[in-house]
């Protein structure tokens, strides 16, 4: 219909159109100002006086992301270390359990052998009927 924007609202009331295409002379939003500052970090419109390699202006917009990556990397490293320690601990306990089973088996073997020898001597000394 006539008098509507492409979104179907009356002109001047559509928030989408106001956001995407602000009227001339309107005050730019804070986000737009921040984006402009990030795009051009040099203050006061100094365009050409900087000579030599532009290390600072290129590195300036990337503040924050390396710190986040560092935190994520440290967290991942801590998780990996904990998992490895957990696995090593369980491996040690598994080996100890095997050693324990072998020890119990040896003790049971010795006790059974002693009992069998004692029983055999008793049988040998007993008078036969
Ligand atoms: Zn619209």
| Whether residue 19 is found in the same domain as residue 75 | no
Give the pLDDT confidence score for residue 74 in this predicted structure.
96
| Whether residue 117 is found in the same domain as residue 90 | yes
| Whether residue 75 is found in the same domain as residue 128 | yes
The one-digit pLDDT tens for each residue of the chain (129 residues) are 567 888 888 888 888 888 887 666 555 566 656 666 566 555 555 555 556 555 555 555 555 678 899 999 999 999 999 999 999 999 999 999 999 999 999 999 999 999 999 999 988 887 766
Neighbours of ion ligand 1 (CB under 5 A): 5, 7, 14, 16-17
| Whether residue 53 is found in the same domain as residue 106 | no
Q: In this structure, what token pair is assigned to residue 103? A: 């020890």
Given a contact cutoff of 8 angstroms between Cβ atoms, the answer to whether 10 and 4 are in contact is yes
Q: How far is the CA of 63 from the centre of ligand 1 (A)?
A: 35
Helix ranges (H only) for the chain are 15-20, 30-39, 55-59, 65-125
Q: How far is the CA of 24 from the centre of ligand 1 (A)?
A: 17
| Whether residue 77 is found in the same domain as residue 96 | yes
Last residue of a domain, one of 40, 63, 86: 63
Last residue of a domain, one of 22, 47, 63: 63
Count of the separate structural domains present in the chain: 2
| Whether residue 72 is found in the same domain as residue 118 | yes
């Amino acid at each position: 219909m006539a008098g509507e924007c492409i979104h179907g609202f009356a002109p001047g009331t559509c928030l989408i159109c106001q956001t995407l295409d602000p009227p001339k002379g309107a005050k730019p939003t804070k986000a737009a100002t921040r984006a402009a500052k990030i795009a051009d970090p040099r203050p006061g419109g100094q365009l050409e006086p900087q000579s030599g390699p532009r290390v600072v202006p290129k590195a300036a917009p990337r503040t924050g992301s390396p710190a986040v990556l560092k935190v994520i990397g440290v967290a991942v490293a801590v998780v990996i270390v904990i998992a490895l320690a957990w696995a090593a601990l369980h491996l040690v306990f598994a080996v100890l359990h095997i050693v324990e089973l072998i020890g119990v088996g040896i003790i049971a073997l010795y006790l059974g052998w002693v009992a069998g020898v004692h029983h055999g001597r008793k049988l040998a000394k007993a008078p036969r009927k």
